[in-house]
Amino acid sequence: MQRRSFLEMAGALSAGASGAAAAPAGVPKYFLLEQYFLKNGTQGARIAAYLQAGPLEAARRLKIPGPLAVLEALVAPHMPQVACVTAFTSLEEMNEMRKKRAGDEKFQAALAEWEKGEEAPYEHYSEVLLEAAAYQPPLIQDLMYREQPRVFELRVYHSPTERQLKLLHERFAGPEIQIFHRCGIRPVLYSSTLIGPQKPNLVYLTPFDNLAAREKAWAAFGADPEWVKVRSESIAKGGQISSVSQISLYKAAAYSPLR
C-alpha cells in the first residue's frame, strides 16, 4: 500500500474516532508497524542513515512521535529487513506527525537524500496499523532500554473468526499473560491489526536478552502445567482459536530507542 493512501485512510478513521476516550497516560492506543524489505548491498546502510537523520531526529526536534523500536531481521520471511514500530495515543496524533514531517525542511532533506541515486532505497515496504489490546501495558522505562541490544520476537496469531479472536484476547488478558511473566516472557506490545493483512489476528512483540533466554522461556512456557490446562480448556470452549502463527526474530538496531 502506498504511504499517502495508507495515511489518508488513517486520517478518515481518526475523524470518526474523535469522540473516543483518551488512552491512559503512558499507554499507547495505536502502533504503526513499518517493514522495509531490502536486498544485500547498500540499502541497509542507507536506511539506517535515513531513520536517524529523518524520523528519529524529527521526533526529538519537533516533539512528535518517532520510531519506538528499529529492528533488523535475524529470521524472517524476507531478509534483509528493517522494521519500525511507532506508538500513538490517538489517530489524530499520527496524522499530526505526518503533517509536521511533510512541512519540515530537514525531514524532507533526509528523505530526499535517502531516495537519491540510481538504486532504489528498498525493494518494497509495508505499513500495518495496529490497535492496542485493552490489556496493553504502559511503556515502562525500565523495560525500554538495555546497554546490550536485545532480541525481539514478533508473533502474529491468526484466528479463523472475529469471535475466536475475541476468545484469544480473553485468554491472553486472563491466565496467559500471568503464565508468560512467570516463564520470563514479557511482551511490550499487544495488539490486533486495524488496517493491514492477515485479519483477524493478535500481534505481539517480546524482547529477550538473547536467543538462549528466548529458548529457555518458551520451553518453560510449553511445559507449564497451568498452560497445558488453560490451552485444553480454550480449545474445548472455542476450537482452535489461533489457527496459524507467524514468527519473526529481530535484533534491535544500535540506534533504536527500544533495545
Nearest to 10 by CA among 126, 103, 189, 130: 130
**Omega before 200 within 30 of 0, i.e. cis:** yes
Residue range 207-244, pLDDT digits in tens: 999 999 999 999 999 999 999 999 999 999 999 999 99
More confident residue, 85 or 2: 85
Determine how β-strand 30-37 pairs with β-strand 124-132.
Answer: antiparallel
Q: Buried b / exposed e across 201-219, counting CB within 10 Å, b at 16+?
A: bbbbbbbbeeeeebeebbe
Helix residue spans in 39-135 (DSSP H): 43-51, 57-62, 91-102, 105-115
Q: Mean pLDDT throughout 61-83?
A: 97
| β strands within 68-150, DSSP E | 69-75, 81-88, 124-132
Which pLDDT score, from 0 to 100, does residue 2 have? Answer: 40
Please give the CATH number for the structural domain made up of 3-135: 3.30.70.100
Cα(29)–Cα(59) distance, integer angstroms? 18
pLDDT at 140 over 80: no
Domains of the chain, residue spans? 3-135, 141-250
pLDDT the model gives residue 259? 87
Q: How confident is the model at residue 166 (pLDDT cuts 50, 70, 90)?
A: very high
Contact criterion met (CB below 8 Å) for 76 and 247: no
Report the candidate in 112, 114, 116 with the shortest Cα–Cα distance to residue 104.
112
Compute the average pLDDT of residues 251-258. Answer: 94
Mean pLDDT, the chain, integer: 90
pLDDT band at 13 (very low <50, low <70, confident <90, very high): very low
At 144, the pLDDT band (50, 70, 90 cuts) reads low
CATH of region 141-250? 3.30.70.100
